[in-house]
Copies of this chain bind each other. A is one copy, B any other.
């Protein structure tokens, strides 16, 4: 091993992350801050690769640096902490000779226990003996000489040679074992799951052992000075007198705490000086390392050593608080604070919760597997969940337990309830990952999937389609919809959001169809509504029947008569939205779904409808059959309906314009945006535009009040993207409906992709589910192409993305880089979008700065 692969860690900060890994880097930093880090050397990534390939280093030379009879620890130091690495090995270099010396210094029991334990660890982790071989030697026995001899004998018997008594050989074998473990298949798969590249590098740290044993205060512990859940300043940790390494954290050990509470004696009582040291070190490290850290420390004869440090553990809420506190204390900049919080993690802070004041009808109790509450209709299969989502009807997925086939269904459900499983069951893990309220192991319930019903312990029966509420924060399931409250978003959250707003340079709007959506959006400080889907308005009970009358109308006159009755309802919908948005832009998408979505499917419902409409049921069935489509997604909907039944769009345009005038009279002036869905040819826009312009002229004439509005197209078909230059000639804006655009670019129905999407992502056929993260290579190229073409025609055309990608951080960064004017996402994702947009802007500025330097 060449000298440059060994680096003194406690002298300077020149240890590079890429060469020596994260742990080595951090220890070097702590050392350079003057903190008491025991002498350590880094084995570089390059050296570890050579070790794995069989080139063992000269460990004699290395050990010499620690002085005679030194024993050391070896820890992994991957380039990124998240990639994991082989387990730490303590007390390397312990031999019979050194053991004897230690017996004198520490007493026989303590020294023998150390050696005995090292023999076992070495046997299992380095010599790869079966751990069970040592089952006979209990932890308690370890301090006896008999136990030590037994352990040494087991080694000799299994390996057929005595336990190595050359410290250098021990160290060489440890290094080799750790280097090779890193190259193993399992380790590769595990770290790839954590985002590691194929050539992920591992460094190692060889550090002088501080034993945590001795006559004065001695022991080892772990401590951090922020609360892992809230991020507030506090002291959290455990300490084990006479312990080593992370012993204090092991469940079997009767560790004491750092500060005392009802649990009894703590470090602050036994050694207040140590706590004071740790406090001081933490404050220094917080400034020096620009973060709140968690220390692994050892006390030896009253002196405190820092063996290791890592960012303090923190949940999503704590992450926000810690970042904001660091910035407010001047440790980091506001920009850096924004980059410290993973936007996706905010989701967990934003979930509604069951109103603690409300009383609900609890029908099942289970484990609180993933926090938040959600209401929806019961579905029993992932397929039904997706169907429900396709109808944009909230649902709760209820299963015995979930499996990978259910993931797509879970994605589309609002919450999950399972009969079986624990906190680490599939449902629980996935739900937490998705930020989805989830209750698992609701053992009292029984599911009958054939009959599609759920029976409670008390014999109460729920059917598919029944409304329930899942409370994943408290592990409860309620019948019906229970009142919910939005979480109180604390000061740090608000502060971070205000900083995000200060730095972001792309607009964030919300997709909001209802007044309640719009109010939430406003409370999160949106720049307007980017997508108001009007069809939801027609599913309300009183409107659905009029809608159906329209569908069954014999001619245009009858259709218009039905639409005339819908007009005042639509007008008041829009008026209310305009009021709530107080003059902010509201982009209204004209009617989009195929008409058959408004017809009932079951025979009974058709019978009912026939009665309501006073016509033979055969006619209802005939019409339903007539409207059936092979591929509804690609059928008679969107602008195709607008052109073949122009009276629908004319009614909607009139409702929008009349609402505009009404709202403008009472409040801020409104400039509505009207969006035409599912365009594939520019002539579609021309035709609809001429009709809407005519309606506008008529309303202006009737009222004598002029108003303005903006007309645009939703780009959802690849052809619309390709012909964006034509579309731009008649559009004030283009908004990319990336859900449908993804479906059509891939030739893949989102609703039908569930059966193979998880396979596809697992096999790497698709790197990501393109419905979650924008497919930059395909759909993304269409977006860029369309943007360039549209701007060719009209340089200041407004461009945006609506659809779920609007709330995805990577997609937001993409849109920002492409110079889009705004993204629009669901109201509860607005804060995530704000943060993601700010991060993209901050990174963009940094990159720009670098670019300038380079030039």
Contact = CB atoms under 8 A, between A and B. Distances in A.
Interface in A743-774: 743-749, 751-753, 755-756, 759-760, 763-766
Contacts of A743: 634
A782 interface: yes
Nearest to A635: B752
A818 interface: no
Given A759-B643, A763-B687, A765-B684, A752 B629 contact: yes
A744 B633 CA distance: 11
B744 A745 contact: yes
Contacts of A12: none
A715 B472 CA distance: 46
Number of copies: 2
A329 interface: no
A780 B29 CA distance: 60
A782 B717 CA distance: 13
A626 interface: yes
Contacts of A631: 631-634, 749, 751-752
Interface residues of A, number: 52
Given A636-B752, A723-B777, A756-B636, A390 B744 contact: no
A748 B634 contact: yes
Q: Is the interface of A mostly helix, strand, loop or mixed?
A: helix
Interface in A72-113: none
A691 interface: no
A630 B631 CA distance: 7
Interface in A669-684: 678, 680-681, 683-684
Given A747-B717, A765-B687, A644 B756 contact: yes
A428 interface: no
A658 interface: no
Interface string A630-662: 111111100010011000000000000000000
A778 interface: yes
B756 A643 contact: yes
A612 to B, nearest CB: 23
B718 A744 contact: yes
Contacts of A765: 643, 681, 683-684, 687
A723 B626 CA distance: 38
Contacts of A383: 626
Given A723-B777, A765-B684, A745 B717 contact: yes
A781 B643 contact: no
A726 to B, nearest CB: 8
A765 B726 CA distance: 13
A622 B603 CA distance: 20
A629 B749 contact: yes
Contacts of A753: 635
- Of the listed residues A630, A633, A719, the one surrounded by the most CB atoms of chain B closer than 10 A to its CB is A719
- Of the listed residues A626, A634, A681, the one surrounded by the most CB atoms of chain B closer than 10 A to its CB is A634
Given A383-B626, A723-B778, A745-B717, A633 B632 contact: no
A1 interface: no
A680 B723 contact: no
Contact of A751 (B630, B717, B746): B630
6 contacts: A630-B749, A630-B751, A634-B752, A687-B763, A744-B745, A744-B747
Given A632-B752, A634-B752, A740-B747, 5 more contacts: A631-B752, A718-B744, A719-B745, A719-B746, A719-B778
